[in-house]
């Protein structure tokens, strides 16, 4: 059998049709002034767009008109400049970087399930409407990497301590019009997180952002760097958790690490000397419980002993009668050329109160100072955690000074370096427990609860002092 002879296409006819099609295309495109309108028309045309048969856009056409509108909005937004004015603030430049790095179709093609972009920018240059987040340990030391910068920019260590954070929790600090999240992913700063602990913290973060109605988040490559996790795995985990949340995540990966000035650390020493026995020109810090002060119960033994050498309590009681003293306030009293600094606290926000008072102390003292407070014996099972919190807060605020922890009779020498002492403790145990729940004075009350003479002496001290004030 002979094969059927196939008809050869007429070249002239085909060329004519192609030319006619090109003329139509050109006339159609000339009607549009911008990219978004042209794209919308192509999508609405019955003819298949020239983006490729298996392209994402062709696939999206199958799912309804709302996706086409999404794409139109995406193209409109990507073609619109960040700002019409001629200012060149860091924030506007950063937003431009975010836009350039994002595929204009990305967030709409995924139905706004999640947006995660990586940009070459300093995290702290993001606009103020971005919340920030990074990872910390339960001990909240934040002594290395980007955590140091978070502590320097936003502070809030005392506020975080009062939140009683554990692994999987997320702490919140609001400073400088910015909400900052602290993801607790490990027990100690010397340890490492796992993908599981990071996942727990990220889920907590998602819930907190939804509750606060925040939709923009800036992060470093969390869990990586010093923490040692794989960024590709972490990135996929973040996308999986935040998909469908409507939260846009910007990951800042600066190619140039800024050489920030290292600030000197507060020097801390431990001594068996009591605070009232310290050398001249030492600023004595006393933590005054406002609840006890207002109820006029008693003064503790440390306050009484300091008052014997530097009478200040009458003035403090007079101030309490004349004006309202709030938690977090500090009042200095100069007696015999020595300064007694009263820090007022309550039990509900104890460490936040201390932090606020320390900020006020810093603002009132510009020169090198010698501070001291009665710590008592610093033992891991009793007092260590509390004292370490107080030192951590003070170090996050005051740098160029010294702090003396007084009354530790277990110390064999008159002067022991606090950091070395902590290193020795960490060799023996990584986990510290503490039932300490009072102010920073030496815990004479606890040690002498069974001594009736001690209880009588405390009440008598208070009665004598309040009687003098009332007589005046």
Catalytic residue ranges: 186, 227
Q: What is the chain's alpha carbon radius of gyration, rounded to the nearest angstrom?
A: 33
* Residues facing 175 on adjacent strands: 178
Q: Given 3-state DSSP classes, what are the helix, strand and coil percentages for the chain, each rounded to the nearest 5?
A: 45, 15, 40
Q: What is the phi/psi pair of residue 415, to 5°?
A: -145, 115
Question: Hey, what's the torsion of the CAs at 322, 338, 447, 320, to 10 degrees?
Answer: 0
Element (H, E) at 269: strand 267-271
Residue 193: how many other CB atoms lie within 10 Å: 25
Instruction: Please state, in angstroms and as integers, the Cα–Cα distance from residue 137 to each residue in 142, 170, 423, 466, following that order.
Output: 8, 11, 17, 45
Residue 427: how many other CB atoms lie within 10 Å: 8
Tokens describing residue 287: 């933590």
Q: What is the phi/psi pair of residue 138, to 5°?
A: -60, -30
Instruction: Please state, in angstroms and as integers, the Cα–Cα distance from residue 166 to each residue in 160, 170, 238, 423, following that order.
Output: 11, 8, 21, 23
Question: Hey, what's the torsion of the CAs at 344, 350, 351, 353, to 10 degrees?
Answer: -40
Q: Which residues of 428-444 are buried (b: 16+ CB within 10 A; e: fewer)?
A: eeeebebebebbbbbbb
Sign, CA torsion 350/430/435/200: positive
C-alpha angle 256/184/240, rounded to 5°? 75
Q: Which residue has the tokens 């603030």?
A: 89
CA 103 to CA 343: how far, in whole Å?
A: 54
Instruction: Please state, in angstroms and as integers, the Cα–Cα distance from residue 185 to each residue in 92, 109, 151, 157, 239, following that order.
Output: 33, 33, 17, 17, 18
Q: How far is CA 121 from the centre of its chain?
A: 19
Residue 17: how many other CB atoms lie within 10 Å: 10
Tokens describing residue 130: 């971005």
CA 32 to CA 34: how far, in whole Å?
A: 6
CA 455 to CA 450: how far, in whole Å?
A: 8
């Amino acid at each position: 059998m002979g094969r059927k002879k196939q008809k050869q296409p007429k070249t002239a006819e085909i060329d004519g049709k192609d030319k006619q099609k090109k003329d139509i295309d050109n006339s159609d495109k000339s009607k549009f002034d911008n990219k978004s309108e042209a794209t919308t028309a192509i999508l609405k045309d019955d003819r298949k767009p020239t983006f490729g048969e298996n392209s994402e856009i062709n696939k999206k056409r199958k799912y309804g008109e709302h996706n086409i509108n999404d794409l139109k909005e995406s193209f409109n937004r990507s073609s619109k400049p960040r700002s019409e004015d001629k200012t060149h603030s860091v924030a506007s430049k950063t937003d431009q970087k975010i836009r350039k790095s994002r595929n204009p179709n990305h967030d709409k093609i995924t139905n706004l399930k999640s947006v995660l972009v990586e940009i070459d920018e300093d995290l702290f240059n993001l606009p103020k409407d971005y919340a920030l987040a990074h990872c910390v340990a339960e001990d909240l030391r934040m002594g290395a990497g980007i955590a140091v910068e978070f502590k320097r920019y936003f502070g809030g260590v005392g506020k975080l301590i009062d939140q009683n954070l554990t692994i999987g929790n997320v702490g919140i600090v609001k400073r400088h019009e910015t909400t900052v999240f602290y993801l607790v992913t490990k027990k100690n700063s010397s340890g490492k997180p796992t993908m599981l602990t990071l996942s727990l913290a990220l889920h907590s973060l998602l819930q907190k952002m939804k509750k606060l109605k925040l939709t923009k988040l800036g992060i470093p490559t969390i869990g990586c760097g010093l923490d040692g996790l794989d960024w590709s795995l972490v990135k996929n985990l973040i996308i999986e958790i935040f998909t469908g949340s409507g939260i846009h995540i910007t990951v800042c990966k600066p190619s140039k690490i800024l050489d920030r000035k290292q600030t000197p650390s507060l020097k801390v020493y431990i001594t068996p000397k009591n605070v009232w026995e310290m050398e001249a020109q030492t600023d004595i810090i006393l933590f005054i419980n406002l609840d006890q002060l207002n109820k006029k119960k008693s003064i503790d033994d440390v306050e009484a002993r300091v008052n014997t050498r530097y009478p200040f309590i009458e003035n403090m009681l007079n101030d309490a009668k004349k004006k309202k003293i709030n938690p977090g306030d500090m009042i200095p009293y100069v007696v015999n050329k020595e300064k007694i600094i009263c820090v007022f606290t309550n039990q509900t926000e104890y460490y936040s109160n201390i932090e606020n008072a320390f900020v006020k102390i810093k603002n009132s003292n510009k020169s090198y100072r010698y501070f001291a407070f009665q710590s008592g014996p610093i033992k891991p099972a009793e007092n260590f955690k509390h004292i370490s919190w107080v030192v951590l807060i003070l170090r996050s605020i005051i740098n160029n000074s010294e702090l003396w922890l007084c009354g530790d009779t277990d110390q064999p020498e008159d002067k022991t370096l606090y950091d070395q002492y902590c290193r020795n403790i960490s060799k023996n145990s990584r986990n510290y427990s503490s039932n300490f729940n009072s102010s920073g004075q030496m815990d004479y009350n606890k040690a002498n609860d069974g001594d009736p003479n001690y209880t009588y002496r405390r009440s008598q001290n208070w009665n004598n002092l309040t009687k003098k004030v009332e007589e005046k």
